[in-house]
Chain A
Amino acid sequence: MDPTIIAILVQDGVVNGAIYALLALSLVLVFAVTRVIFIPQGEFVAYGALTYAALDAGQMPGSVWLLCGLGAAACAASLRAEWRRLSPRRLARLLAGTLALPAAVLLATRELAPLQPGVLVQALLALLIVTPMAPYLYRVAFRPLAQASVLVLLIAAVGVHLAMGGLGLVFFGPEGSRATGFSEDSLELGPLIVPGQSLWIVGLTVALMLGLYGFFEFTLYGKALRATAVNRLGARLVGIGTAQSGEIAFSLAGVIGALSGILIVPLTTVYYDTGFIIGLKGFTAAIIGGMASYPGAALAALGVGVLESFSSFWASAFKEVIVFTAIIPVLLWRSLRGGVVEDEE
Chain B
Amino acid sequence: MPRIRQAAVLAALALPLLAVGASADTVHVGVTLSATGPAASLGQPEQKTVALLPTQIAGQKVEYNVLDDGGDSTRGVANMRKLVDDGQVDVVIGSSITPVSMALIGVAAEKKVPLLTMSASARLIAPMDPQRQWVFKLPQNDSLMADAIVEHMARHGVKTLAFIGFNDAYGDSWLAETTRAAAARGVQLGSVERYSRTDTSVTGQVLKVLAEKPDAVLIAGSGTPAALPQKALKERGYKGHVYQTHGAANNDFLRVGGKDVEGTILPVGPIVVAAQLPDSNPVKKVALEYVHRYEAANGAGSVSAFGAHAWDSGLMLEAAIPVALKAGRPGTPEFRAALRDALEGLTNLTLSHGITTMTADDHNGFDQRARVMITIQNGAWKLLP
Given contacts A16-B200, A169-B40, A268-B201, contact A317 B227 (CB under 8 A): no
Closest to A170 in B: B36
**SS class, residues of chain B in contact with chain A:** helix
Chain A to chain B contacts (Cβ below 8 Å), 15 pairs: A9-B204, A174-B44, A174-B223, A175-B250, A175-B256, A176-B224, A177-B256, A267-B200, A271-B225, A273-B38, A309-B203, A313-B205, A316-B194, A316-B204, A319-B204
Given contacts A166-B36, A174-B40, A178-B256, contact A312 B224 (CB under 8 A): no
Given contacts A316-B193, A317-B194, contact A16 B223 (CB under 8 A): no
Collect the chain B residues with CB atoms within 8 Å of residue A312's CB: 195, 199, 201-205
Minimum C-beta distance from B142 to chain A (A): 19
Distance A273 CA – B70 CA, assembled complex (angstroms)? 13
Collect the chain A residues with CB atoms within 8 Å of residue B203's CB: 8-9, 12, 309, 312
Minimum C-beta distance from B324 to chain A (A): 35
Which residues in window 10-28 of A have CB below 8 A to B?
12, 15-16
Residues of A in contact, count (CB < 8 Å): 37
Distance A308 CA – B196 CA, assembled complex (angstroms)? 13
Which of A9, A169, A264 lies in contact with B200, CB distance below 8 A? A264
**B residues in contact (CB < 8 Å) with A:** 36, 38, 40-41, 43-44, 167, 193-205, 207-208, 211, 223-225, 227-228, 235, 250, 252, 255-256, 258
Minimum C-beta distance from B222 to chain A (A): 11
Number of A-B contacts (CB under 8 A): 95
Minimum C-beta distance from B383 to chain A (A): 24
Is A173 part of the binding interface, using a Cβ–Cβ cutoff of 8 Å?
Answer: yes
- Contact of B200 with A316 in the complex, beta carbons under 8 Å: no
Minimum C-beta distance from A130 to chain B (A): 18
- Contact of A271 with B195 in the complex, beta carbons under 8 Å: no
Q: Beta-carbon contacts of A302-343 to B below 8 Å, as 1s and 0s?
A: 000000111111101101100000000000000000000000
Distance A8 CA – B227 CA, assembled complex (angstroms)? 21
Distance A201 CA – B222 CA, assembled complex (angstroms)? 29
**A residues in contact (CB < 8 Å) with B:** 5, 8-9, 12, 15-16, 166, 169, 173-178, 193, 264, 267-271, 273-274, 276-278, 308-314, 316-317, 319-320
Given contacts A273-B38, A313-B205, contact A268 B224 (CB under 8 A): no
Distance A8 CA – B41 CA, assembled complex (angstroms)? 33
- Contact of B167 with A176 in the complex, beta carbons under 8 Å: no
Collect the chain A residues with CB atoms within 8 Å of residue B204's CB: 9, 12, 309-314, 316, 319
Collect the chain A residues with CB atoms within 8 Å of residue B43's CB: 174
Collect the chain B residues with CB atoms within 8 Å of residue A178's CB: 256, 258
Distance A193 CA – B207 CA, assembled complex (angstroms)? 13
Add 7 more A-B contacts to A176-B223, A317-B167 (CB < 8 A).
A15-B201, A269-B224, A309-B201, A309-B204, A312-B195, A316-B204, A319-B199
Q: Which of A8, A173, A264, A316 has the most CB of B within 10 A?
A: A316
**SS class, residues of chain A in contact with chain B:** helix
- Contact of A271 with B211 in the complex, beta carbons under 8 Å: no
Collect the chain B residues with CB atoms within 8 Å of residue A166's CB: 36
Collect the chain B residues with CB atoms within 8 Å of residue A8's CB: 203, 207
Distance A5 CA – B167 CA, assembled complex (angstroms)? 23
Collect the chain A residues with CB atoms within 8 Å of residue B228's CB: 268-269
Collect the chain B residues with CB atoms within 8 Å of residue A169's CB: 36, 40
- The 7 A-B pairs at the shortest CB distance, nearest first, are namely A312-B204, A174-B40, A313-B204, A175-B252, A174-B41, A12-B203, A317-B194
Collect the chain B residues with CB atoms within 8 Å of residue A317's CB: 167, 194
Closest to B211 in A: A5
- Contact of A269 with B194 in the complex, beta carbons under 8 Å: no
Closest to A11 in B: B203
Given contacts A177-B256, A273-B38, contact A5 B200 (CB under 8 A): no
Distance A226 CA – B362 CA, assembled complex (angstroms)? 68
